[in-house]
Amino acid sequence: KAVKRWAELMGDNYITKRMRIRDIVTVPPSVEQEQLSYIKQSIKKIETVRYFVEFAHDYEWVEWLEAEGKLQNLFLVTSNDNEVDELLAEWLVEQFLF
């Protein structure tokens, strides 16, 4: 049942994904593993990390990203930045430094 539900969630179109990400990240991170797993998968792709940075405004999401190791590349001298890392860096600066 869980695998079937996961397949349904990952098969959503981008409008549905955007709305689901918005619904999850407009509040602090939940303890619900399905939601966190969905966000964890979503922030791997540039197409969906855009929705994360659009709607996540709570600092607890920064802490969650750090705990998940998703911000490490931003602070490495020899990092191999990619579009996802660049977008997360812009989000951090815009949301929490200005």
Percentage of the chain modeled with pLDDT above 90: 66
pTM over 0.85: no
Q: Shortest CA distance to 64 belongs to which of 44, 83, 47, 39?
A: 39
DSSP 75: G
Report the C-alpha gap between 81 and 30 in whole angstroms.
28
**Close Cβ partners of 88 (under 8 Å, ≥ 6 residues apart):** 43, 49, 53, 65, 70, 71, 74
pLDDT band at residue 88 using 50, 70 and 90 as cut-offs: very high
What pLDDT was estimated at residue 8?
A: 63
Report the C-alpha gap between 65 and 67 in whole angstroms.
5
